[in-house]
Amino acid sequence: MMLWTTIEDIFEVTGRGCFVVPSPSDLDFRVRVKDRLQLRTPGGVTLNTHITAVEIACGTGPCRMAIGLPRDLKSSDIPAGTEILVVEQTGT
């Protein structure tokens, strides 16, 4: 298991679920759909999950990577500052 980064922002897309925007990271590796993650909130809650989508989010600032999570997770479950750990890279 490897600490990748923290969550900078989070939003929900109707019909698609929750997406997180990771903080910039110096690590040089790629994440893919189905990669297993562990999220550790600042309050000490640990959530085991996986990536359902990798998208580009463009808003008022520069475009950034956004990671889709399973629909059972809500933005209220995952505050900014939550750590993202890569448990296993299984995607193709």
Phi, psi of 33 (to 5 degrees): -55, 140
Spatial separation of the C-alpha atoms in residues 31 and 54, rounded to whole Å:
8
pLDDT at residue 4, as a whole number: 84
Task: Report the DSSP beta bridge partners of residue 48.
Answer: 38
- Give per-residue pLDDT as tens, 1-16: 788 899 999 999 988 9
Phi, psi of 76 (to 5 degrees): -70, -20
Task: Please tell me whether the overall predicted TM-score, pTM, comes out greater than 0.85 for this model.
Answer: yes
- Give per-residue pLDDT as tens, 36-92: 999 999 999 999 999 999 999 887 778 889 999 999 999 999 998 999 999 988 755
Residue whose token pair is 């189905």: 34
pLDDT at residue 62, as a whole number: 86
Whether the CB-CB separation of 68 and 54 falls below 8 Å is answered with yes
Ordered by where they begin, the domains of the chain are 2-88 (2.40.30.10)
21 in helix, strand or coil?
strand
